[in-house]
A and B are shown apart, each in its own frame.
Chain A
Amino acid sequence: MLRAAHLPRAQPAALNFLLVSKRWQQTPASPGSGITASTKSTPGSHTTQYATNNPASAFKTQTAASRPSFNAPIDRTSNPYKTTTSPTSTYVPPSSQRTNPSSGNKTGGGAGTLVKAIVYGVALGVTGTLAYAEYENDSFRRQLESTIPYTATILGGIDQVIDPVLGRQKSITKGITDKVPDLAYVKDKLPGKDQVKKLGEQVKDATNQVVEKLPDKNTLKKVGEQAKDAVNKVTDKITDQSKAKGLVHQTTDQVKDAVNTVREALPDTKGLKKNLDHMKEQIQDAAHTVKETVKEAVPALPKGRSGDSSGKLTDPVFIEEAGEMAVPPPIPQDKYKKLEEEISQLFAPLSTQIDEALSAAREHISHMKTLIDNPHISTSDHETWKKAEHLQEQAKTSYEKATDKLREWKDKLVEYSTATNGQIHPEEKKLDEKYQELHKQYTTSTFVKNFRTYIDEATKSFQKEIETMFPSLAGKNPTQLTHEDLQALLVHAHRRVVKLQNDIARMRINESDSIKAGVESARSEIDRLVEERVQTRVAKTTEQLTEELKSYEKNLRQQFDEQLKYEIVLQHQALTQYLADVLSRQYQEWAREYEKQLENESMKINLNLQNQLRSTLDRLHAIEQAIEANYDSQQRGRQAQQLWIQAQNILNQIVHGTTTENDLDVISKIVPNEKFVHILLNELKADDSPVTNEEMLRERFTHVNKLCRRVALIDDEHNSLWNYFLSYLQSLLIVRQRDDTILTDDAIDLNRLSTFTILNYVQSYLDHNQWYNALRLMQLLSGEPRNVAQSWIADTRNYLAKKQTSELLEAYSNSIGLGTLPRTA
């Protein structure tokens, strides 16, 4: 390869630069030095020198070959390569210059660098740990987050950046928490023990209230006193009358009756029962209210409808509102309404009847009262007595009717109360009062009705007495009575009166005692009874209440248990559903994964098969093509032979003689299909240059040589005739020689080129048949010798081009021929 052995005359700055670059470039390997050598030439060289350098530089590679091959294309392509290397080589030195000044500052900042080193180390450590934590994403990260406070936020922020980039997603199974969903909410809804206790206490209070509401001893005492007053009244009535024993009997009977009335005026069993029923009703009301409060306090159970359960249990973690409490079946309202209607229907006639009876009784009593008060009434007054009897009968019948109706009414009431669980008809109370009064009055009337009989009895006994004591007097009329009889009677009467008075006095004494005693005994009995009854009632009611309470408690407890069970069942359902969800999700995930894998595998297999199929098909195609190509190649081989022959022919002609059109046409006949050949042929045909051959060019060169020597000194400036003469003289004096050194050493000293040296080189080249080099060197001529040699140069160029094309043709034919040779493994 031609090299510039010495630098051209360049500027001194560039020279320095080149020196520096040379020092840098001595370190790379020697193959690079060739490139650098040419780059050295680029800064200061002329374009012509540069152009000639590069083609010359490619020479060395082909010196081994006998024929120079495609140099011209390589020239053009090698230029850009050479130009690009120069920037890279220029790039290196400035950096070398830059590092030099920085190395000087090292000794100055020792402490500063230590600080810097520490800071860098710390930063490196922190970033390293964060990066590792981010990458690892498991135990180390968790440890870090747990120990150092702000790393969680930092890593979370980094996560947000990195996860979309890397495509890291937390899988669904990891996303679901490991903890079981919270049951506290449900637990809160269940009633606590405190609430249950509170409710029990409430129930107890209600029962206590009810128990208090029972007829207590005070009222009983009051009623007893009322009875006592009645009795006193009766006894007063008795003391007013100074009647006979009948009266005493009467009084005792009356006392008995009074006791009866007292007894009956007291709250009788029925009344007590009624009251107790009333109380029971109250208790039940209280219990109901308690139940209500309990209902409010306790959360209601969910309604057991199947359609709702799936909807409500979609979110297994939270169970939302509960349903309502299980309500007992409602009271069959129509039954008791009917009863109520019947009862109210009965009420009106019944009340009227009772009123009637009452009025009848009252009448009778008033009549009897008048009778009793009136001392002059005798037994013979039949009218009044009959009236009294009549009234009494009336009263009795009406009373009996009333009682019958009342019984019916009572039955209905009982039914009603059983049907309505103890609710009492509102009109019952009124009727009860009325009935009581009626009863009172009736008893007095019955009591009073015996008045007449007592009176009758008393008179009869008196008469008997008189008859027995004074039988003589008995048969007589009152007008026939003698004075003695009368005196006897009077004495008797006196005696009797005294006796009676004594009796009365005794009775008076005893009465109060007996009454007191009776009253006391009655009272005590009543008290006892009442007490007993009360106690029994109380006991019963307390028993009942406690039972009810227990049952209620049990019921509540049952309810609570049921509710709890229900809740547990719900929870269980929720948990199972949750588990089912999780499982299903996992299953889906895995199923998807496996499906994917399966798809991948199947695709791979599919592709594999397709590939195999394709490869076999390709092989088949190749075989077919090979066969065809073989046939083609054989044909082409034949063609190539002919082409080669012809090409050789043409070449010879070009070199030594002239070409004719015929030759070229022959070739086109041989290979009608080859485009390349056609192009070449066109090129050859279109060549307008004068036909030359090698011999002629050589001859011409000798002539040119001579002429160029003669005008060697002539250029643009020095071109007078005198210079012509001088140059001629010089040419005579300079010895002709042939410089064969160029053949061995390609380096041209560009500074020492002159016409003579060039011509010597070219002569030696031509003598060795190196036309391309000769041409290249000839182009280095300048001035008048260049002008003289111009046409020779052009002609040589054309000749060489033609030769090249024909050689190309031949080479192409060779290539075809080579292509058709049988392939060897």
Chain B
Amino acid sequence: MTTPTRPLASEEIYGEKWNRCVTDTIVKTASGLALGIVFSAVLFRRRPWPVFLGTGIGLGMGYGNCQNEFRSPYVPGQVSKLATLRGHLSPKPSSN
């Protein structure tokens, strides 16, 4: 097991990115869904379209974020801030 102070290996960053990406998308979708449900329930008289909109928005945002993250310039050994934050939230093989 590696310590968090050790810089990440390049192959692991890929994994890390994917983790972040997926979690982020899930979170965004879920939150979009939730918001959609809320909105549809509250504002739009239980029509289904805010739900789909919300999920779509969430998916899209997640997708975009994911894509952006993958497109970011690759610096081996550097750990992104988000990754460190997310590192605390989700257990990673690299942390602790």
Q: Which residues of A approach B to under 8 Å, CB–CB?
A: 690, 700, 703-704, 707, 711, 714, 719-721, 724, 784, 787-792, 794-795
- Report yes or no: A791 in contact with B11, Cβ–Cβ below 8 A: yes
- Report yes or no: A707 in contact with B11, Cβ–Cβ below 8 A: yes
Interface residues on B, range: 10 to 19
5 smallest A-B Cβ distances: which pairs? A791-B10, A791-B9, A787-B74, A790-B10, A790-B76
Measured CB to CB, the closest approach of chain B to A165, in angstroms, equals 71
Indicate with 1 or 0, residue by residue over B23-55, a CB within 8 angstroms of chain A CB atoms. Answer: 000000000000000000000000000000000
- CB neighbours of A794 from chain B (8 A): 76
Docked Cα-Cα span, A467 to B61, in Å, equals: 235
A sample of 20 inter-chain contacts (CB < 8 A) reads A690-B6, A703-B11, A707-B11, A707-B14, A711-B14, A714-B70, A719-B67, A719-B70, A719-B71, A721-B66, A787-B74, A788-B10, A788-B14, A791-B10, A791-B11, A791-B76, A792-B9, A792-B11, A794-B76, A795-B9
- CB neighbours of B63 from chain A (8 A): 721
In the complex, which of the residues B11, B66, B67, B71 contacts A788, with contact meaning CB atoms closer than 8 Å? B11
Indicate with 1 or 0, residue by residue over B63-85, a CB within 8 angstroms of chain A CB atoms. Answer: 10011001100101100000000
- CB neighbours of A711 from chain B (8 A): 14
- CB neighbours of B9 from chain A (8 A): 700, 791-792, 795
- Report yes or no: A704 in contact with B11, Cβ–Cβ below 8 A: yes
Docked Cα-Cα span, A719 to B8, in Å, equals: 22
Most B C-beta atoms less than 10 A away, residue of A700, A724, A790: A790
- CB neighbours of A704 from chain B (8 A): 11
Docked Cα-Cα span, A792 to B67, in Å, equals: 24
- CB neighbours of A791 from chain B (8 A): 8-11, 76-77
- CB neighbours of A788 from chain B (8 A): 10-11, 13-14
Docked Cα-Cα span, A788 to B77, in Å, equals: 11
Measured CB to CB, the closest approach of chain B to A758, in angstroms, equals 16
- CB neighbours of B10 from chain A (8 A): 787-792
Closest chain B residue to A704 by CB distance?
A: B11
Docked Cα-Cα span, A703 to B67, in Å, equals: 23
Measured CB to CB, the closest approach of chain A to B94, in angstroms, equals 12
Known: A719-B67, A787-B10, A789-B11. 18 other contacts (CB 8 A): A703-B11, A704-B11, A707-B14, A707-B15, A714-B70, A719-B71, A720-B67, A721-B63, A721-B70, A724-B70, A784-B74, A788-B10, A788-B13, A790-B76, A791-B11, A791-B77, A792-B10, A792-B11
What is the interface of chain A mostly: helix, strand, loop, or mixed?
Answer: helix
- CB neighbours of A724 from chain B (8 A): 70
Measured CB to CB, the closest approach of chain B to A820, in angstroms, equals 44
Docked Cα-Cα span, A99 to B8, in Å, equals: 64
Docked Cα-Cα span, A703 to B10, in Å, equals: 11
Measured CB to CB, the closest approach of chain B to A697, in angstroms, equals 11
Closest chain B residue to A795 by CB distance?
A: B9
Docked Cα-Cα span, A791 to B13, in Å, equals: 10
Measured CB to CB, the closest approach of chain B to A299, in angstroms, equals 120
With known contacts A690-B6, A787-B76, A791-B77, A700–B11 Cβ distance under 8 A: yes
Measured CB to CB, the closest approach of chain B to A610, in angstroms, equals 69
Measured CB to CB, the closest approach of chain A to B83, in angstroms, equals 15
Most A C-beta atoms less than 10 A away, residue of B10, B63, B77: B10
Measured CB to CB, the closest approach of chain B to A693, in angstroms, equals 15
- CB neighbours of B13 from chain A (8 A): 788
Docked Cα-Cα span, A10 to B57, in Å, equals: 49
Closest chain A residue to B6 by CB distance?
A: A690
Closest chain A residue to B72 by CB distance?
A: A719
Docked Cα-Cα span, A794 to B75, in Å, equals: 13
Most A C-beta atoms less than 10 A away, residue of B9, B13, B71: B9
- CB neighbours of B11 from chain A (8 A): 700, 703-704, 707, 788-789, 791-792
Docked Cα-Cα span, A790 to B74, in Å, equals: 10
Docked Cα-Cα span, A721 to B66, in Å, equals: 8
Measured CB to CB, the closest approach of chain A to B37, in angstroms, equals 26
Closest chain A residue to B8 by CB distance?
A: A791
Measured CB to CB, the closest approach of chain A to B10, in angstroms, equals 4
Closest chain A residue to B9 by CB distance?
A: A791
- CB neighbours of B70 from chain A (8 A): 714, 719, 721, 724
Measured CB to CB, the closest approach of chain B to A715, in angstroms, equals 11
Indicate with 1 or 0, residue by residue over B9-23, a CB within 8 angstroms of chain A CB atoms. Answer: 111011100000000
Docked Cα-Cα span, A787 to B16, in Å, equals: 14
Docked Cα-Cα span, A323 to B30, in Å, equals: 149
Docked Cα-Cα span, A790 to B70, in Å, equals: 16
Most A C-beta atoms less than 10 A away, residue of B13, B14, B74: B14
Docked Cα-Cα span, A788 to B74, in Å, equals: 9
Measured CB to CB, the closest approach of chain A to B16, in angstroms, equals 12
Docked Cα-Cα span, A57 to B76, in Å, equals: 30
Measured CB to CB, the closest approach of chain A to B26, in angstroms, equals 15
- CB neighbours of A784 from chain B (8 A): 74
- CB neighbours of A721 from chain B (8 A): 63, 66-67, 70
Docked Cα-Cα span, A787 to B76, in Å, equals: 7
- CB neighbours of A690 from chain B (8 A): 6
- CB neighbours of B71 from chain A (8 A): 719-720
Docked Cα-Cα span, A789 to B74, in Å, equals: 12
Docked Cα-Cα span, A720 to B76, in Å, equals: 20
Measured CB to CB, the closest approach of chain A to B18, in angstroms, equals 9
Docked Cα-Cα span, A103 to B86, in Å, equals: 81
